[in-house]
Amino acid sequence: MQQIIPKKCTVLVIGGGPAGSSAATHLAKSGVDVVLLERAEFPRNQVGESLIPHFWKFTDQLGVSEQIQQQGFLRKAGGITLWNGKVQQILFSDYGYTRPGLHVERDIFDHLLLAHSKQQGALVFHRVAVKQVDLSCAQPIVYYLDTRGDSNLAGTIQCRFVVDASGHSSLLAHQLETQHSIGSEMNFLSLWGYFKNSRYVGADRQSHHSAEMKAVPPVTFVMSHANGWLWHIVLREKTSVGLIVHSEKMKAMDKQQREVYFKQSCARLPHLKDLLRDAQFIEGSLQYRPDYSYYATQTCQQNYYCIGDAAGFVDPIFSHGIQNAFYNAAVASLAISESLKNTSKSARYAQLCESRIQQFYGFSRALSLGDFGVHGVNRDLVKSLMKAMSPLELELMLVVSEMTNRSANFKQLAHEAGVWVRFSQQHEQQKRGLIEDLQF
């Protein structure tokens, strides 16, 4: 017998990805009555398989780190980029990280997080799609379509707070017309698919057969090409390959033409073709996303919060997406919990959360896209965040931006924030990341 969706709850979460499930976990652990509606049936496919070590502090807070470790995801040592002919490498251990980054199958990873939120007391409903949210009254009314049975049933649920974690659907941002695409020269779209039996790039800068992964840990491999850049992320039983391409390049292509372009690119691009020389494309795995980079001008109000990709999406190049989702969920959950304790200050808590979310996305956008002062980036918020970061973490951010020729804006912001001297001399002495060549 299907569980009945309640008519009322304290917090309604839209979406069961890392942002939504994390918010539900935080709130449920605090004793808050929370309902989560997810339109898909989990586990479901999702892109974004590379996690940087920062994520562990959030999973520690959620109480799910041990389950992640037990799952046996691939531990990655760092990343290697080949950008405009220049090869650079990052090893997380050089920056004080004692816990690894991971390459994860997102269907398994996300399902684990969502199951954990249910274990903590959140009411989770799959195959229930939220269609609209009425924010005109103090307690929002959420309209949904329940597709669990033989027929689709429309329903409503009233709540005190809505947390929109609907991902790229960005339900509230579209409804409220607060979403904007990045209007810059870096206007891209993404294509990605999966291969079996791919070789991988190891921490020793050489390519290896998948059977060697226990002996030589993998890295995330990123490379520029004439029309954008690509990623190669080895997983336990398959490999994720993605092409980031200038939008104009594929403007008139249909689905079949995009697949031909993807396969031909994988077969001709240097280094990538070597990694895939013995690999087989998994038919039907190619996916496409045109709405590449965007932001919302308003993410938090007194009775709603937009988090994760529903609040903005920057660029997957530095693997910030999951980290942003975890961070957004943590600060939004705290704001809601405090608002429930002191309702007279709920608007203030929403405003503080808005600043934190915009600060985090602004930093990612300034670092990844090279846009600041425009396109939704508040320079003062970004500089404030930089002042709070440790010199070693700032150096890491400088290195990753230099690896993809995007460091000019980072350096300018660091100078303006007065933090440049805290790490620049050490960086110049160490010159971490510079390597001679790859051996494929």
For residue 344, the domain's CATH number is 3.50.50.60
**pLDDT at position 403:** 78
Listed range (38-52, 163-177, 326-340, 409-423) with the worst mean pLDDT: 409-423
Same domain flag for 203 and 247: yes
Whether 63 maps to a domain, the answer reads no
Same domain flag for 304 and 407: no
Higher pLDDT, 189 or 425: 189
Whether 54 maps to a domain, the answer reads no
Output the DSSP codes for 335-348.
HHHHHHH-GGGHHH
Higher pLDDT, 77 or 182: 77
Same domain flag for 241 and 278: yes
Q: At 118, phi and psi to the nearest 5? A: -65, -40
Same domain flag for 319 and 265: no
**pLDDT at position 393:** 81
Euclidean distance between CA atoms 283 and 195, whole angstroms: 9
48 pLDDT above the threshold of 80: yes
**pLDDT at position 374:** 58
What's the rounded mean pLDDT across residues 162-166? Answer: 98
In the chain, the amino acid numbered 20 is G
> pLDDT tens-digit profile of 81-117?
998 888 889 899 888 889 999 999 999 999 999 999 9
Listed range (34-48, 128-142, 259-273, 285-299) with the worst mean pLDDT: 285-299
Whether 2 maps to a domain, the answer reads no
What's the rounded mean pLDDT across residues 62-72? Answer: 97
Whether 277 maps to a domain, the answer reads yes
Whether 283 maps to a domain, the answer reads yes
Listed residue (229, 243, 234, 237) closest to 208, CA to CA: 234
Same domain flag for 326 and 306: yes
Whether 411 maps to a domain, the answer reads yes
Question: 119-130 as b/e, with b when 16 or more CB fall inside 10 Å?
Answer: ebbbbbbbbbbb
Determine what percent of the chain is predicted with pLDDT higher than 90: 62
Listed residue (298, 292, 323, 318) closest to 19, CA to CA: 323
What's the rounded mean pLDDT across residues 333-344? Answer: 96
Same domain flag for 86 and 141: no
**pLDDT at position 16:** 97
Mean pLDDT of the chain: 90
64 pLDDT above the threshold of 80: yes
Q: Would you say 217 and 75 are in contact if contact means Cβ atoms under 8 Å apart?
A: yes
314 pLDDT band, cuts 50/70/90, is confident
Same domain flag for 386 and 398: yes
**pLDDT at position 401:** 79
CA dihedral 132, 135, 139, 144 (to 10 degrees): 0
Q: Would you say 76 and 201 are in contact if contact means Cβ atoms under 8 Å apart?
A: no
Same domain flag for 80 and 192: yes
CA angle 305, 307, 313 (to 5 degrees): 135
**pLDDT at position 412:** 84
**pLDDT at position 85:** 85
187 pLDDT band, cuts 50/70/90, is confident
Euclidean distance between CA atoms 277 and 200, whole angstroms: 11
**pLDDT at position 425:** 66
What's the rounded mean pLDDT across residues 118-142? Answer: 96
* Helix (H), strand (E) at residue 55: helix 55-62
Q: Which residue, of 269, 292, 315, is where some domain finishes?
A: 292
Tally of domains in the chain: 3
**pLDDT at position 400:** 78
Listed residue (20, 11, 35, 37) closest to 148, CA to CA: 37
State the SS3 of 124-137.
EECCEEEEEEECCC
**pLDDT at position 250:** 81
Sheet holding 294-296, edge to edge: 179-181, 294-296, 312-313
**pLDDT at position 438:** 65
> pLDDT tens-digit profile of 250-290?
878 899 999 999 999 999 999 999 999 999 999 999 998 87
Three-state secondary-structure class, residue 305: strand
CATH code for the domain in which residue 199 is found: 3.30.9.100
Same domain flag for 345 and 266: no
**pLDDT at position 66:** 97
Whether 393 maps to a domain, the answer reads yes
Whether 57 maps to a domain, the answer reads no
Listed range (23-32, 386-395, 430-439) with the worst mean pLDDT: 430-439
- Please give the residue range of the domain that contains residue 323: 8-49+105-180+297-355
What's the rounded mean pLDDT across residues 353-368? Answer: 85
Listed range (66-75, 99-108, 129-138, 386-395) with the worst mean pLDDT: 386-395
| Residue 217 neighbours by CB distance under 10 Å | 21
Q: At 402, phi and psi to the nearest 5? A: -70, -30
Same domain flag for 273 and 312: no
Q: Would you say 362 and 339 are in contact if contact means Cβ atoms under 8 Å apart?
A: no
> pLDDT tens-digit profile of 200-247?
999 999 999 999 998 999 999 999 998 889 999 999 999 999 999 888
**pLDDT at position 110:** 98
Higher pLDDT, 365 or 71: 71
Same domain flag for 168 and 308: yes
Higher pLDDT, 29 or 427: 29
Same domain flag for 172 and 198: no
C-alpha distances in Å from residue 107, one per residue of 44, 111, 113 = 5, 6, 10
